[in-house]
Amino acid sequence: MWPFALLALVAIYELVAQAVISARVAPDADWASAATFVRGELAPTDLVIVAPAWADPILRRELGDRIPLAAAGRSDLAAYERVWELSIRGRRAAELEGARETMPPALERVFGAVTVRRFDLGASSVRLDLTSSLRDAEVRRGARTCAWRRSAPQGGGLGAGPLTPAEHFFCGPEPWLWVGETATEDLDLQGRHCVWQHPAGTEPIATTYRDVELPGRVVLYGGIYYLHERDEVHGPVDVRVLVDGAEVGRMRHRDGEGWKRMEATTREGRGDVTIEVTAPDPNMRTFCWSASLRGPAREVGE
Amino acid sequence: MRPRIGWLDHLLGALLCAGYVALLLGTSADLAMSRDESFYVTAAQDYARWMRQLWNDPDAALTTESIDAAWDYNHEHPGLAKALFALSWIAHENAKDGGSVGSAGSAADGRHGSAGSAADGAAAEGAGLFASDSDAFRFPGMLSAGLLLWLLYIFGARVFGREAGAFAAVAYALMPRPFYHAHLDCFDVPITLALTFAVYAYWRALTSRGWIVIAGLAWGLALAVKHNSWVLPGIFLIHYVWMVLAARARAKRDLPASARLVTRPWWLVSLAWLGPPIFLATWPWLWHPETMLERFGWYARFHVNHEYYTIAYLGRSWFEPPFPISYPFVLTAITVPLVTLAMAGVGIAMRARAMLPGFVRDRVWKNGDVEPDSPHTDVLLIGCLLAPILMIALPSTPIFGGTKHWFPAYPFLCMYAGLGIVRATNALRHGVGARLPASRWTSRVLVSALVIAPMLVQTVHSHPFGLSHYTPLAGGVPGAADLGMNRQFWGFTTGSLTEYFTEQMPNGGTVYLCDMTPGAWEMLHRDGLLPRNVRWSASMTNADFVMVHHEDHFLEVELQSWIAFGTTKPAHVLTYDGVPIITVYENPRRRR
């Protein structure tokens, strides 16, 4: 009888499992209800995320107008004081792992198949998001100032790399020598909100923020567009962070390191912050960085 | 005792074939053309133009210039399958305008994908032979799938009995991934048919001299369809050596030998004499003596050094060797209905003793009912089952094709599944015995229902997202997304968005296609599934809508959309079991 028993067992398993899989799919109405609730509670320093990550387009369909580029392409949670997690299938967001270990959710509500949890991380350490403030900076290629330019966005398509935004600094004549706020796909195929600052060789490309408040730390993430990093055949990219012309931190990014973090301490007060990028060989060094000026680190979410 | 196969068996095979082709034709419009299909449409139109020229002016058609003009495109694959697509399309066009093969106003003049070209493709007026131009190109592929069921029934019936053959055919028909591919004007199903037929012909040739010539012809046709057929003689050779050594061992022990067994390698002679000539004869691109070797060398090098495309597997995007050895095994496990796999396991277990070399069998499995037959059919079948999977498991073999590159293993898997199902039926009948009314038929009906229900439910559920489908063993589509599995490729899922784009752009507009080709988009126009004023855009930033077909590495297209349109909010998300398949962004310019 065992062949029949096996057949019956497997057949019933497949039929029941298929039915369960279909029944567990979160209906659009549940997403909409959860989103309506969260929308009503959202504060400007809140972040909304989803678990599992593959549901991100659905989250943004419901709340994308409240998820700006900086949030969607975040490098960490430091800029946010509260995080809303919309969860399906019992999944939990990996980036909230640290928060979950130290605190219970401040709020938990269930909307059918979608569970909403809120984690109150505390006051943000971020004083200035340099990535989003690029427009206020100056950019130089060596001694020459790069002009702020407005044109139609350029690029697009698989393998094309980050899109050139409508507004950017142009340091050419090489068409890739621009500095602008965009988004890149890093080595782990994660989207990163960042400033494209392709090196021009050993001649530095430098982005300077004049007379900004220095809360004591600079945190910078940087990486190379995945297609140009994954083969691990190209040379390094050097990044220096300077305050009033004096180096406070540096990072050498090598292929294979992905979205790499660097932290430097600065004096407090006000000053000029410069992010300088060079490369011994600039070929395919499609470098993009995300940085912020931060005060003392809080316990969770950094 | 193997049954004598007669015309009634072929009638049943023909019915299976016809029914499946009708099902495929009925469900084809749900599937937009995939990337590769659109390339083969272009090639088929080129070939059709040349065929018309050959009919009207053979001397002109056979010049080097004419042959190269028609056959140079997509010369990485041999000509037979695309020539069949071309013939099917010619028949369709001729039915439209009532013309003959050489009729004027050839629709085949259009080069797919070039501006306005598809209108040329639809130049002929009238209903045509098929419901759509896509169906015309796809029909030979669908017919291949139908013929494969027919062949599978006959092959299975000859080896394991009629019931096993019938179940084998049904099990193959109701595999979600092959069901998707069975719709397409691609090579994966035709080559599965061609290889299975070549194996069948070789197997018959071992006991029937009449099949020796057919074996060579069959292999030649397989060569003319796709390059994976080049390895088949190697599999045959291994089997043949096994069989001959076993026959010699029996002779040494004075055991009786089958008088019908053909132990001389006439099959090899047939393959060598007929295979390459058929390959050459069906591929005019190789007809020029002065370029034949150079071009064949290019063809061989292209496949030996094939480019690697990125594909997600277990949370990692693989783009270069070494590729994971587990890939074809895991993918088979989570895309083929478990009931098929389990029953194949039962069937293989039943025949396992016959798969062992005699000296091993005598030592480790001395007592058993199962003996190998004189051609050692089980060794052949298991070799044909394992060879395609093991080829893909090699760390150097590209894995970007998903499961389709080891489809030639599935007919043999299904034959053993058929045998396993028969065993389950018998087990029920003997186990319950007289307690079941009309136990023979009741057990058959009960087992059939138990077997077919999960296969059918999964196959129906997979349509029209065949490449995105995963079985419950993976947790279905959401479970596979959790596991980090590939969600799709080729951009065919766009077919599920035609209504959306039609509604959104009543006065026309443009769409950035992401993974879809302009040629595939054009087929939506030709098939009447999308208004002609809803056009494709080469520029993402100027398009009214941007599609993002979700594969992990396609994220960059989504990020580009955010920058181009200044928002992360999609206008629409196409989902399958709650998993995003295509996300659509709308150019804010449309709202101003």
> Which tens digits make up the pLDDT trace of B44-101?
999 999 999 999 999 999 999 999 999 999 999 999 999 999 999 999 999 987 655 5
Q: What is the pLDDT of residue B246?
A: 92
Which chain B residue lies closest to A1 (C-alpha atoms)? B427
pLDDT for B257 beyond 60: yes
Does the beta carbon of A256 lie under 8 angstroms from any beta carbon of chain B?
no
Distance of alpha carbon B487 from alpha carbon B465, whole angstroms: 9
- Maximum Cα–Cα distance across chain A: 85
Question: Which residue has 């040379």 as its token pair?
Answer: A235
**Hey, what are B326's tokens?**
């587990």
Question: Which residue has 């083929």 as its token pair?
Answer: B336
A-contacting residues of B 456-515, CB under 8 Å? 457-458, 461, 471-472, 475-479, 481-482, 512, 514-515
Of A3, A55, A73, the CB nearest to B424: A3
Q: What is the pLDDT of residue B111?
A: 42
A82 pLDDT band (50/70/90 cuts)? very high
pTM: 0.95
Out of A169-173, B135-139, B302-306, B434-438, which region has the weakest mean confidence (pLDDT)?
A: B434-438
The rounded mean pLDDT for chain B is: 93
Reference B583, options A97, A46, A61; nearest CA is A61
B490 sits in the region (left: phi over 0; alpha: psi -120 to 50; else beta) called left
Which chain A residue lies closest to B514 (C-alpha atoms)? A157
Residues in chain A: 302
Quote the crossing angle between the two packed helices B338-351 and B410-432, to the nearest 10°.
80
**CB-CB under 8 Å, A11 with B451:** yes
Does the beta carbon of A104 lie under 8 angstroms from any beta carbon of chain B?
no
User: Where do runs of H (alpha helix) occur along chain A?
Assistant: 2-23, 28-41, 56-63, 69-72, 97-102, 226-229
| B109 to A226, B119, B299, B522: CA distances (angstroms) | 41, 10, 26, 15
Q: What is the pLDDT of residue B104?
A: 39
Q: Is B58 helix (H, G, I), strand (E, B) or coil?
A: helix
**Is ipTM over 0.95?**
yes
Which chain A residue lies closest to B566 (C-alpha atoms)? A69
Q: What is the pLDDT of residue B116?
A: 36
Does the beta carbon of A53 lie under 8 angstroms from any beta carbon of chain B?
no
Which residues from chain A sit within 8 angstroms of residue B567, using beta carbons? Answer: 64-65
Reference B74, options B401, B302, B307; nearest CA is B302
CA atoms within 13 A on the CB side of A285: 25
Q: What is the pLDDT of residue A194?
A: 98
Distance of alpha carbon A183 from alpha carbon A165, whole angstroms: 9
Mean pLDDT of A8-28: 97
Element (H, E) at B388: helix B377-393
Residue A145 makes CB contacts below 8 A (sequence gap 6+) with A138, A139
A141 φ/ψ angles, rounded to the nearest 5 degrees: -110, 105
Distance of alpha carbon A188 from alpha carbon A186, whole angstroms: 5
Does the beta carbon of A156 lie under 8 angstroms from any beta carbon of chain B?
yes
Which residues from chain A sit within 8 angstroms of residue B452, using beta carbons? Answer: none
Distance of alpha carbon A250 from alpha carbon A220, whole angstroms: 10
> What secondary structure, in 3-state letters, does B252-263 show?
HCCCCCCCCCCC
Of B342, B454, B555, the CB nearest to A189: B555
Q: Is the dihedral of CA A44, A50, A53, A54 positive or negative?
A: negative
| Amino acid identity for residue B452 in this structure | I
Q: What is the pLDDT of residue B250?
A: 86
**Hey, what are B557's tokens?**
């297209």
A interface test, pick of B313, B419, B556 with most A CB neighbours within 10 Å: B556
Distance of alpha carbon B380 from alpha carbon B203, whole angstroms: 8
Does the beta carbon of B557 lie under 8 angstroms from any beta carbon of chain A?
yes
Q: Are A176 and A247 in contact (CB under 8 A)?
A: no
Does the beta carbon of A52 lie under 8 angstroms from any beta carbon of chain B?
yes
Which chain B residue lies closest to A56 (C-alpha atoms)? B580
Q: What is the pLDDT of residue B117?
A: 41
Of B339, B451, B569, the CB nearest to A61: B569
Of A57, A69, A88, the CB nearest to B583: A57
Distance of alpha carbon A75 from alpha carbon A292, whole angstroms: 11
Which residues from chain A sit within 8 angstroms of residue B477, using beta carbons? Answer: 21
Is the backbone peptide bond immediately before A282 cis, with ω within 30 degrees of 0? Answer: no
A301 pLDDT band (50/70/90 cuts)? confident
| B326 to A28, B320, B391, B475: CA distances (angstroms) | 36, 15, 12, 19
Reference B179, options B224, B150, B141; nearest CA is B141
Mean pLDDT of B476-487: 98
Residue B363 makes CB contacts below 8 A (sequence gap 6+) with none
**Hey, what are B164's tokens?**
């096993």
Distance of CA A137 to the CA centre of its chain: 21
pLDDT for B120 beyond 60: no
B439 pLDDT band (50/70/90 cuts)? confident
Distance of alpha carbon B18 from alpha carbon A134, whole angstroms: 65
Q: What is the pLDDT of residue B211?
A: 97
pLDDT for B557 beyond 60: yes
Residue A246 makes CB contacts below 8 A (sequence gap 6+) with none
Does the beta carbon of A286 lie under 8 angstroms from any beta carbon of chain B?
no
**Hey, what are B115's tokens?**
């501006």
Residue A36 makes CB contacts below 8 A (sequence gap 6+) with none
B interface test, pick of A56, A131, A132, A189 with most B CB neighbours within 10 Å: A189
Reference B113, options B68, B66, B74; nearest CA is B74
B256 pLDDT band (50/70/90 cuts)? confident
Q: Is B375 helix (H, G, I), strand (E, B) or coil?
A: coil
pLDDT for B114 beyond 50: no
CB count in 10 Å sphere of residue A252: 12
Counting one residue from chain A and one from chain B, the pairs whose CB atoms sit within 8 A come to 191
In percent, the amount of chain B with pLDDT more than 90 equals: 86
A interface test, pick of B428, B562, B577 with most A CB neighbours within 10 Å: B562
Which residues from chain A sit within 8 angstroms of residue B307, using beta carbons? Answer: none
> What secondary structure, in 3-state letters, does B113-172 show?
CCCCHHHHHCCCCCCCCCCCHHHHHHHHHHHHHHHHHHHHHHHHHHHHCHHHHHHHHHHH
Is the backbone peptide bond immediately before A173 cis, with ω within 30 degrees of 0? Answer: yes
Q: What is the pLDDT of residue B2?
A: 78
Mean pLDDT of A277-302: 95
Q: What is the pLDDT of residue B108?
A: 40
pLDDT tens-digit map of B378-429: 999 999 999 999 999 999 999 988 999 999 999 999 999 999 999 999 999 8
